[in-house]
Structure 1
Amino acid sequence: MSFIEIIIRVASSFFVLLLMTRIIGRKELRQLTFFNFASGIAIGSIAANLAVNGNLNISQGILALSLWALLTIVMGFVDIKAGKNVRRIVNGQPVIVIKDGKIMEKELRKARLDINDLRVMLREKNVFSVSDVDYAILETDGKVSILKKDNKKTITKSDMRLEKIKTDMYPLPTVIINDGNIDMDNLDQLDLDEVWVMKHLRQAGIQNVADVFYGELQTDGTLYIDKREDYKY
């Protein structure tokens, strides 16, 4: 490619891409569903090829970029006008991953997530213990919406006119059991052992650690247990 052709290609792809993104609207930035995300990558890839691929005719590249943007616009109108069944096919639907304080491990697997991914999402919402959550819903844009348990909703010290008295035995909630396996590294750091874990499980009526999907040591020294018992909703 000549220097002049490179300038023409880059300028064409830049201004066509700018025009297409303005026509498509702000949804690509404001609410990235999986389809929006894939569509944005495809449009960017076509624009990049138009700019640097000498084997791609400029007019063909502009046509391909315009057609893809047009299809994205059409799907946007379909999403707005169509019924919920069509919208579910295009964008998917929210998934309840915690219900009534119980982790829905089957729904997690359907969403291709594990308990560690869920804990990261909760921490991004300033929730450091799964036991604080009543409901958690994985939205179609990949974000999680959380409803805390009533006794875990935030109340400031000024609301109560009380000073906090520190009674925590541990600084943060810590994973003890993950998908039926005891986390020995975390136990060692807490100066606890497997005997302590099994004692607390038996007190909860659980004889086998494999029956526990998730176990978390709370800051007050109690053990939060979530058994493998999903139920439909």
Structure 2
Amino acid sequence: MEPPVDIVLRSLAVYLFIVIAIRLFGKKELAQLSVIDLVFILLISNSVQNAMVGPDSSLAGGLIAATVLFGANFLLKNLLYRNPDINRLVSGDPVMLVHQGNVIEENLRREKITRDELEAAAREHGVASIKDVDLAILERDGNISILSSNYTHRSRRRRVHKSMLKQDN
């Protein structure tokens, strides 16, 4: 059995690595997970399991690792809540994608958002054309907020995967 301190340190290292890696993927990835993303996350979690507990596959080793992950997550969320600078570093800043009907192509490229994805987000908010969008912002959580003076409907909707739409019919 691995010493508990080793499991704690390994689990913290893996947690920090995963947080940094997800941050580097970009905000867009947070709002919508594709099948490929889900498979990737499952494989990553399986591959880092051994890195956290080492050769210790006991119940105690797994519970120690899980407790450390829950604790680290709790502490990080509290730290982000209390410190706006660290929150900005981890979560990033909102990014303007459209201003008064003009698409900011450089920001689309930097955030790896296609024109089709932007147009789909506008339609989800009830706006037929990008030219009618006063402001489109990629939020910290990966969702796109759309504001338009031509429409009274101003909301931020979560992206719904197409498989969920089929269930409504």
TM over 0.5: yes
Moved over 2 A (4+): none
- After superposition, the C-alpha distances for 1:159-180 in whole angstroms (9 at most, x for unaligned) are xxxxxxxxxxxxxxxxxxxxxx
The residue aligned with 1:71 is: 72
1:192-211 maps to which residues of 2 (within 5 A)? none
How far off is 1:110 after superposition? Answer: 1.2
SS of the residue aligned with 1:127?
Answer: coil
- After superposition, the C-alpha distances for 1:96-136 in whole angstroms (9 at most, x for unaligned) are 00012210011111111110111111121122211110111
Greater RCO structure (CA 8 Å; 6+ sep): 2
Larger Rg: 1
The residue aligned with 2:151 is: 153
How many residue pairs match? The answer is 110
1:40-189 maps to which residues of 2 (within 5 A)? 45=45, 56-82=57-83, 84-149=84-149, 152-154=150-152
How far off is 1:154 after superposition? Answer: 4.0
* Aligned equivalents of 1:127, 1:148: Cα separation in 2: 7
- Identical counterparts, % of pairs: 29
The residue aligned with 1:170 is: none
* Aligned equivalents of 1:78, 1:154: Cα separation in 2: 37
How far off is 1:78 after superposition? Answer: 0.7
* Aligned equivalents of 1:154, 1:71: Cα separation in 2: 42
Say what the alpha-carbon RMSD is for the aligned residues: 3.1
How far off is 1:63 after superposition? Answer: 0.6
Unaligned stretches of 5+ residues in structure 2: 1-28, 50-55, 154-169
SS of the residue aligned with 1:96?
Answer: strand
Supply the AA of the counterpart residue of 2:121.
M
- After superposition, the C-alpha distances for 1:36-62 in whole angstroms (9 at most, x for unaligned) are x99xx68xx47xx7xxxxx72111111
How far off is 1:85 after superposition? Answer: 2.2
SS of the residue aligned with 2:147?
Answer: strand
* Aligned equivalents of 2:128, 2:113: Cα separation in 1: 18
* Alpha-carbon contact 2:127-2:151 (below 8 Å) kept: no
* Aligned equivalents of 2:67, 2:95: Cα separation in 1: 34
* Alpha-carbon contact 2:100-2:134 (below 8 Å) kept: yes
Q: TM-score, normalised by structure 2?
A: 0.56
More helix as a share of residues: 2
More strand as a share of residues: 1
* Alpha-carbon contact 2:98-2:137 (below 8 Å) kept: yes
Supply the AA of the counterpart residue of 2:95.
V
